[in-house]
Amino acid sequence: MKELTRNNQVSLTNTVSITLNNLGFNYSKERAALTDVNLKIITGEKVGLIGANGAGKTTLFMAICGILTPNYGDVQILNRPIVPGRFNPDIGLVFQNPDDQLFCPTVRDDVAFGAENMGLAPHEVTERVETALSLTGVSHLIDRIPHHLSGGEKCMVAISTVLAMQPQVILYDEPSANLDLKARRRLIRFLQASSETIMISSHDLELILEVCDRVILLNQGRVIADGLPQKIMSDRVLMENNNLEVPHSLTHKH
C-alpha cells in the first residue's frame, strides 16, 4: 500500500470509532470483493472512500454495517464487535438511492421509524424526529409524502432517518449522485458541519476534497492509499493507475 503521511488533525489519544482487522469478503470463490482490509478511523474524522466502479466501496460499507458477513476478519465500532445481521444503533448507513430508504406514508413516519424500533418513548421519538429534520433543514416537509419530493429533498430526508437514531458513525454511499448543483452545495455544507464520525463513498471527488480530512483509495477490494485528500488525488500516476482522474480543482496547482 502506498503510505502517504498526513497531518493528524484528530488527536491519537481520542477514541477509535471504526476498526477493521484483516477484513475479507468474497461474493464467489472466483472473485474477492475485499482483501485484507485494515483500517482505524478516529472519532470525529471525515473520511472519503474513493475508487473506480467495482473497487469494493459499497461492499466495504455493507460489511462495516453488518449487512454482509465477512469471510474473515472483523469489524469493531467503538471497540465493540459488529455482529452481522444484528441492528446496531451506533452506526447508520445512508443509501445511494433515497428511494431505498424511504417507504412510509409521510416524512414524519419515515424519520420516526428507526427511533421507534429502538423502543424509545413516543415523546422522545417526536423530539428526535424534529431535531433530525431541523439539522437537515427540511422541517417544513414533515407531513409530505416522501415519493413526491425532489431529489435533493429526498436526500436530506433520508439523512434525517439516520440522524434520528443518533448514531456515532454514519456511512454515506454516493450521497450527491442524483442532486442538482444547489442541492449538492447544501449537502456539502451539511456534511462539513456534521459532528459524527463519517465515511463518504463517492465518485464526486470535488465533494471529497471539500468535506474530508482523509481519503482511502480502494482498488479490487484492497486499500491502495490512505492519507491527505489533496496529496492522494493530485498524484496523477496513482489516480490513473486506479482508473480515476485528478479532480479539476487540483489540476492547476502542481
Which range, of 26-35, 115-124, 175-184, averages the lowest pLDDT?
26-35
Residue span(s) of the chain under CATH 3.40.50.300 come to 14-90+168-254
Mark 2-15 as b/e (b = at least 16 C-beta within 10 Å).
eebebeeebeeeee
Residue 51: name the closest of 176, 201, 179, 184 by CA: 201
Considering the segment(s) 14-90+168-254 as one domain, its CATH architecture is 3-Layer(aba) Sandwich (3.40)
Would you state the pLDDT for residue 253?
53
List, for residues 92-134, the tens digit of each pLDDT value: 999 999 999 999 999 999 999 999 999 999 999 999 999 999 9
SS (H, E, C) the chain: CEECCCCCCCCCCCCEEEEEEEEEEECCCCCEEEEEEEEEEECCCEEEEECCCCCCHHHHHHHHHCCCCCCEEEEEECCEECCCCCCCCCEEEECCCHHHCCCCCCHHHHHHHHHHHCCCCHHHHHHHHHHHHHHCCCHHHCCCCHHHCCHHHHHHHHHHHHHCCCCCEEEEECCCCCCCHHHHHHHHHHHHHCCCEEEEECCCHHHHHHHCCEEEEEECCEEEEEECHHHHHCCHHHHHHCCCCCCHHHCCCC
Percent of the chain with pLDDT over 70: 94
List, for residues 195-229, the tens digit of each pLDDT value: 999 999 999 999 999 999 999 999 999 999 999 99
Residue 100: name the closest of 50, 155, 27, 138 by CA: 155
| Cross-strand pairs, 92 | 170
pLDDT at 139 over 70: yes
